Amino acid sequence: MSNTIEHKKKSAENINWDLSDLYASNEDPQLAKDKESVLEEADAFAQKYRGKISELSAGEFKSMLDEYENILDTSGKIGSFAYLQWSTDTSNTDYGKLVAETNELSSEVSQKLVFLDVEWLKISDEAAQKLIESPKLEKYKHYLESSRRYKDHVLEEGQEKIMSAKSVTGRSAWVRFFDETLGAAKFELDGEELSEQEVLSKLHESDRDLRTRAHASLTKKFKELSRPLTFVFNTVLADKSTNDKLRKYDSWIDSRNLANQTDRETVDALIKSVTGKYDLVQRYYKLKRDLLDLDEMKDYDRYAPMLKNEATIDWSSAQEMVLDSYTKFHPKMGEITKEFFDKSWIDAAIKPGKRGGAYSASTVPSVHPYVFMNFDGKIRDVQTLAHELGHGVHQYLSRQQGVLQSSTPLTTAETASVFGEMLVFQKLMKELDDPKEKLALLVGKIDDTIATVFRQISMNRFEHAIHTARREEGELTTERFSELWMEQQKALYGDSVTLTEEYGIWWSYIPHFLHTPGYVYAYAFGELLVLALYEEFSQRPDGFADKYMELLSAGGSEWPEDLVAKMGLDITQPDFWNKGLASFERMVEAAEEMAKVVR
């Protein structure tokens, strides 16, 4: 009983967000009103502008985009509320019903507005450039410029309407099914039925027997669900293949690169740099095996803490760590972060039906972001909190750019989140005196960096393999997915980690492959960019924080390489990634030196 009471004191069981800045509930009259008005506004917009885009003056074009943003803001607000509410309890049928309704509403609005993109991209390059360069459209310059890159991939208006309508009962439906299946799944562990997130957290415990049992529990359930999960993966992969063919994309990754405002050459350079340094991962895990005093390092040992009794951190302490780190870096960052805590913009409680993982939802510029996580009192949860609040600060600041330019490409979207983690990590390192505790913290940071850089690139290689195989071989079996998964995992870990046969099914629970195909390389992009940025901050701190806040405030209103260039870095250079990888190698070297002292 005392253990339960102690856990409740340290947990975030009462940290639930207040979504009333979006809507009070499903029954909120304003929600019903907005659902009706957004369709009326979309109809009026189409009646006013359809067939006339090429005839608009720069001033008229700006007025049109202002109206367009207002419609998107209302539609986005409805969709954000539905998804955020459902995330906290995927088993709630009323919440699920609203998600379905808002997906259908969003599709209907999209169908009414799709003419804008189609007509804009049909305008000649010469006429488009005159509008882009017009002072009256300066506010929307980057949006207009970047959207032209889709010229060869947008279909006719009628076809675009069909694509939007079918997505509701196609890919979106299967992704929701995947989330609800894993959200409702119960994992048996030591006589208890736990959520996926609760059992996954056991892999970070110091008790190896517990990690082994947690690994077995997860594997058992993933195998039980393998048939529907394999079907979902096959269906989503086939859906993407069809869309790519219709839109004339040469590769499965091309649409993601366009959305990320990058190109295949830059991404290939990143992948080549990271895979070329897999030996660092293997070198580190051999060190960690010795530190843990293991004869053999298995896949369920990778995240084991170095200290036997890792301290549990209560929510208020975690809050203080993040607030203090952010405030010391820049007062404005601290002020914004404090709002998330004070105004209940965070949902951190672990509860039945809640989906796993963590995210920061930007929602819409007229409201503010919300942070979602599952806080279990571990040091990694503090880092997750710092990570998501980094996103939150970024999204909060970039709202000023409006709906069309507030969101950043995924390649730079991870910058603020990973930088926030680094601030908290450096604060903790400075405050620790015990060499063992410092080494344990460093080991945890290296674990996280491997997960963010190297593991994500290995998952990108897995994605490449499954998209390619699905297109060349047809429907894939569970065993084929597992074979492709293990090939990439073995390439990453070499002989430093023994991958159990059971680990072959562990591709099946990762949502990024379905939610946002091609997403994962952005984590590596962001982490290595931040390691280079932090190096710059350490060497030239004067004025850095102000420039950094300006970068966040710019959102997606400039090309990523131009934004980063203002910080003194050039991400277009093929060897840029080596800066971050060199920083990671220094971490491994530091751990090796510290290990000599504590052994």
Give yes or no for a contact between 313 and 10, defined as CB atoms under 8 angstroms apart: yes
Q: 372 φ, ψ to 5°?
A: -120, 130
Residue positions counted in the chain = 599
Question: pLDDT class for 9, splitting at 50, 70, 90?
Answer: very low
The mean of the pLDDT values for the chain is 93
Task: State how beta strands 370-372 and 346-347 pair.
Answer: parallel
Give yes or no for a contact between 411 and 261, defined as CB atoms under 8 angstroms apart: yes
**H or E element in which residue 143 lies:** helix 141-147
How far, in Å, CA of 520 to CA of 461, rounded? 10
pLDDT of residue 10: 54
pLDDT of residue 518: 94
Question: 19-169 maps to which CATH number?
Answer: 1.20.140.70
What DSSP assignment string belongs to 386-453?
HHHHHHHHHHHHHGGG-TTTSSPPHHHHTHHHHHHHHHHHHHHHHH---HHHHHHHHHHHHHHHIIII
How far, in Å, CA of 68 to CA of 65, rounded? 5
pLDDT in tens, 97-128: 999 999 999 999 999 999 999 999 999 999 99
220 class by beta-carbon count within 10 Å (0-12 exposed, 13-18 middle, 19+ buried) = middle
Question: pLDDT class for 433, splitting at 50, 70, 90?
Answer: confident
Contacts of 166 (CB under 8 A, 6+ apart): none
**H or E element in which residue 361 lies:** strand 359-361
pLDDT in tens, 174-202: 999 999 999 889 999 999 999 998 999 99
Task: State how beta strands 359-361 and 370-372 pair.
Answer: antiparallel
Contacts of 597 (CB under 8 A, 6+ apart): 435
5 class by beta-carbon count within 10 Å (0-12 exposed, 13-18 middle, 19+ buried) = exposed
Q: Is 543 left (phi over 0), alpha (psi -120 to 50) or beta?
A: left
Q: Is 427 left (phi over 0), alpha (psi -120 to 50) or beta?
A: alpha
pLDDT in tens, 562-598: 999 999 888 888 788 998 999 999 999 999 999 998 8
pLDDT of residue 437: 87
pLDDT in tens, 505-551: 999 999 999 999 999 999 899 899 989 999 889 888 999 999 999 99
Question: pLDDT class for 310, splitting at 50, 70, 90?
Answer: low
How far, in Å, CA of 102 to CA of 95, rounded? 11
pLDDT in tens, 31-70: 999 999 999 999 999 999 999 999 999 999 999 999 999 9
**H or E element in which residue 41 lies:** helix 29-49
Q: What is the mean pLDDT of residues 290-318?
A: 89
Give yes or no for a contact between 550 and 543, defined as CB atoms under 8 angstroms apart: no
How far, in Å, CA of 176 to CA of 174, rounded? 5
How far, in Å, CA of 497 to CA of 301, rounded? 9
Q: Beta-carbon neighbour count of residue 596 at 10 Å?
A: 7
Q: What is the mean pLDDT of residues 317-345?
A: 97
Per-residue pLDDT for 298 more than 60? Answer: yes
How far, in Å, CA of 104 to CA of 246, rounded? 22
pLDDT of residue 157: 85
How far, in Å, CA of 406 to CA of 397, rounded? 9
Per-residue pLDDT for 262 more than 60? Answer: yes
Per-residue pLDDT for 3 more than 50? Answer: no
Give yes or no for a contact between 464 and 268, defined as CB atoms under 8 angstroms apart: no
Q: What is the mean pLDDT of residues 138-157?
A: 93
pLDDT of residue 24: 97
